[in-house]
Chain A
Amino acid sequence: GAVVSQHPSWVICKSGTSVKIECRSLDFQATTMFWYRQFPKQSLMLMATSNEGSKATYEQGVEKDKFLINHASLTLSTLTVTSAHPEDSSFYICSATRLAETREQYFGPGTRLTVT
């Protein structure tokens, strides 16, 4: 159990367009979902924390108007990269913690975004 999926697994978009990435907990209800970004040969950096039904909390330096996060249910969170630019090209990874078991984070497989 505790499977997290992401869709799409990779996406190529043109500069100026918006891209939506979905994160789903397949077999459990997630109290909290997290969004990370990872540039090549670097570590994961937390972008934001989201709880179902409430606004996401963004880390310092992450533009909330550029990276829109919606957490509409206990099994789905979406990240929309608005007006994407080449510097937004990265590996985006989500994770989720289980209801009543908040210690471990279960990670999705990641989404590779390339902005041309």
Chain B
Amino acid sequence: DAKTTQPPSMDCAEGRAANLPCNHSTISGNEYVYWYRQIHSQGPQYIIHGLKNNETNEMASLIITEDRKSSTLILPHATLRDTAVYYCIVVNFGNEKLTFGTGTRLTIIP
């Protein structure tokens, strides 16, 4: 599976949009981009995933560049409960295994 690169930490003011970048320059055509988050001492939570089109759900939006080498997760109106470690993971179609990197520790500032 393609490796991903994320900034180790970010801060965002409460109520503002949080934009979390992820680089996956070696992604191949049959690999999806998945985002999970882990709040302290809990199991990870699925957020969103995409292949090449932008995606939106009730939690977030996922913007994937046209060349698919990077993506951005957008939390439109961050709240204190969004403080967590966010993981960007590239997953091969047909392979269910997730390889977690170090993620981005997002801190929402009141």
Contacts and interface: CB of A to CB of B under 8 A. Distances in A.
A56 interface: no
Interface string B63-77: 000000000000000
B42 A109 contact: yes
Given A105-B46, A110-B43, A43 B103 contact: yes
A95 B100 contact: no
Contacts of A34: 96-98
B98 to A, nearest CB: 6
Interface residue SS majority, chain A: strand
A102 interface: yes
Interface stretch (A13-21, A44-52, A68-76, A77-85): A44-52
Interface in A82-115: 91, 93, 95, 97, 102-110, 112
A112 B43 CA distance: 11
Contacts, number: 54
A109 B43 contact: yes
Interface string A33-63: 0101000000111100100000000000000
B32 A44 contact: no
Interface residue SS majority, chain B: loop
B44 interface: yes
A32 interface: yes
A44 B49 contact: no
A37 B43 CA distance: 11
Given A34-B98, A105-B96, 10 more contacts: A34-B97, A43-B87, A43-B103, A46-B99, A95-B43, A95-B98, A103-B49, A104-B49, A107-B45, A112-B41
5 contacts: A44-B38, A45-B100, A93-B44, A95-B44, A97-B96
